[in-house]
Structure 1
Amino acid sequence: MVGKKVLITGSNGLLGRSLRACLLQHNFVVISTGLGSDRFEEFGGFYEEMDVTSLNSCNRIIDKYKPDIIINAAALTNVDACENNKEHCLNINTHSLLNYIPQIQNYNIHFIQLSTDFVFSGIEGSYVENDLCDPVNYYGFSKLESEKILLNTLSNFTIIRTSLVYSNDCANMNFLNWVKSSLEKKIKLKIVDDQYRTPTFLTDLVQAILKVLNMKKYGVYHISSGERLSIYQIVCNIAKYYGYNMNLINKTNSKTLNQAATRPKDSSLRIDKAVNELNFKPTSLLNSLK
């Protein structure tokens, strides 16, 4: 029996690559898309070059494959780059969604949008799905605006907000690999202890998306470990587990960093809804390193 057709945007990225592998294993027909050539053609499935900012490009691919599901993993996620080039950020993270809307409605496609904890101000922390969104940087603003587009135009969508996604997979750079690589090279790190996140193990995120597909769940879900940690605590836990020199890690605060974009102080996410409705079972940071 042929499975449902899933189109993935941003398939050459960290999440897109893992989604592709997982969905192919679960007998979905996977159409991977991205800018440039296929970096992971050994995975199989279909691959098409697609520019998410081009209406013609999106229409051509969606008309060709008529997917049942689109997972939008394409995004500009560098927070400082978003702050420094707001127009580019908005084109990729927000305006691109307008290219999908007519086709989603035409083919009754289930649209899954990846979003972020940075839609919140970070003043309160421990956010649930219906808490007030008030981003403090342009990246968060661009993702919140994309959420609003879906909320105002569609009913068959799922928004998945996540936080600090990491993996041991070396094919795509991420926070965990950056910490390990830096400490292996004996590079001294200045890490903030006044910002709190709920880090997300990539495998957990992929499994949660798989549950959303199989259960056909709509609405907004928070997916993370649910484990509220400062960034300093996260780095120290990684270093201790792998036996790196703890003296290389220096504690600092956000005010000492010369960053273009403000970061929320505490954007930790509550995951009760995902646990109850998706039977989501998160992995702690420590267990994910094993």
Structure 2
Amino acid sequence: MTKVLITGANGLLGQKLVQLYEEDQDVEVIATGRGENRNLAGTYSYEQMDITSQEEVMQVIKKHTPDVVINTAAMTHVDQCELNPDDCWKLNVDAVNHLIEACEKTDSFLIHLSTDFIFDGEDGPYIEEDLPNPLSKYAESKLESEKLLKASGIRHAIARTMLVYGIVHDMSRSNIILWVKESLEQKKLIKVVNDQWRTPTLAEDLAKGCALIAKNKAEGVFHISGKDLLTPYDMAVATAEFFNLDKSLIEKVDASIFTQPAKRPPKTGFILDKARKELGYEPVTFTEGLAILKSQLAHA
């Protein structure tokens, strides 16, 4: 029996991991998060744990001595990180240090989530070895957390991802697809950028990628994302077409019309060869992802 502890278990990826592991009799899950448990009932156990508290992290991880810790907790709102750099650093860097210290004591394998934003977007899509050049406080914090892990003596993996979409069971979180769908259903005109490129990632695929890393105890950096390189405008049009909504309400714009505190990389996207070869990772297409979302919405 493998014991897996998940941080940020109330978030989108955290919930998908808890659900994924519910189907695996060989894995015992300890879900942790700030505040009350927001997951559906299951065979896992839940502990409140604030990862910014060194004491709590040490206490909970030493209590459970997990084989694997998957750190999905982070401050990911890019503009909020820019405006509140201290909070960003506490959650994205200091907390990772606490996890490293605790995993050292229990000899746990730590899987840490990182981001495409560590790259400047000048020559994407990227492979794992490409040189980072962060453009924002959020990106700097995630790169710093990667450096901490690489300098530590613990067994670890870094799973970089981007633009994760999906739904949590209580529908408390939105994403680009839900926003487009709801706006068009309300006949709202929306402006969507056409000069940024990403490989959007279905949350279930990201959970699957993390589980493959955990199962293989595969050390190193892995790019885990979707396979289609798209602009947000492409995604919006595909969403409109898939749900039979009026795509003439979608206005194509460039990013310069939005005033955002944090700078975004223009073109990222990931090359997935390493994850395919070493983990057997294969994501769905964006259209298949929309179909999965549609079926989940029908049961929500």
TM-score range, shorter chain: over 0.9
Identity of aligned residues (%): 39
Cα 1:41/1:48, change in 2 over 3 Å:
farther
Q: Distance in 2 between matches of 1:65 and 1:228?
A: 40
Q: Is the 8 A contact 1:165 1:175 kept in 2?
A: no
Q: 1:202 deviation in Å?
A: 1.4
Map residues 21-60 of structure 1 onto 2, 5 A cutoff. Answer: 21-27=19-25, 28-60=27-59
What secondary structure sits across from 1:197 in the alignment? coil
Q: Is the 8 A contact 2:15 2:168 kept in 1?
A: no
Task: Give the partner amino acid of 1:39.
Answer: R
Task: Give the partner amino acid of 2:203.
Answer: L
What secondary structure sits across from 2:41 in the alignment? helix
Cα 1:82/1:264, change in 2 over 3 Å:
same
Q: 1:236 deviation in Å?
A: 0.9
Map residues 68-217 of structure 1 onto 2, 5 A cutoff. Answer: 68-169=67-168, 171=171, 172-217=173-218
What secondary structure sits across from 1:196 in the alignment? coil
Residues 34-73 of structure 1: CA deviation (Å, up to 9, x unaligned): 1110112513411111110001111111111111110000
Residues 206-253 of structure 1: CA deviation (Å, up to 9, x unaligned): 111111111121100001122111111111111111111112111111
Q: Distance in 2 between matches of 1:174 and 1:208?
A: 20
Q: Gaps (5+ residues) in structure 1?
A: none
Residues 88-111 of structure 1: CA deviation (Å, up to 9, x unaligned): 001001111111222211211110
Q: 1:155 deviation in Å?
A: 4.4
Q: Gaps (5+ residues) in structure 2?
A: 292-300
Q: Is the 8 A contact 2:167 2:174 kept in 1?
A: no
Q: CA RMSD in A?
A: 1.3
Q: Distance in 2 between matches of 1:58 and 1:138?
A: 24
Map residues 238-257 of structure 1 onto 2, 5 A cutoff. Answer: 238-257=239-258
Q: What is the aligned counterpart of 1:17 among 15, 18, 25?
A: 15
Runs of 4+ with >6 A deviation: none
Cα 1:168/1:38, change in 2 over 3 Å:
closer
**How many residue pairs were aligned?**
288
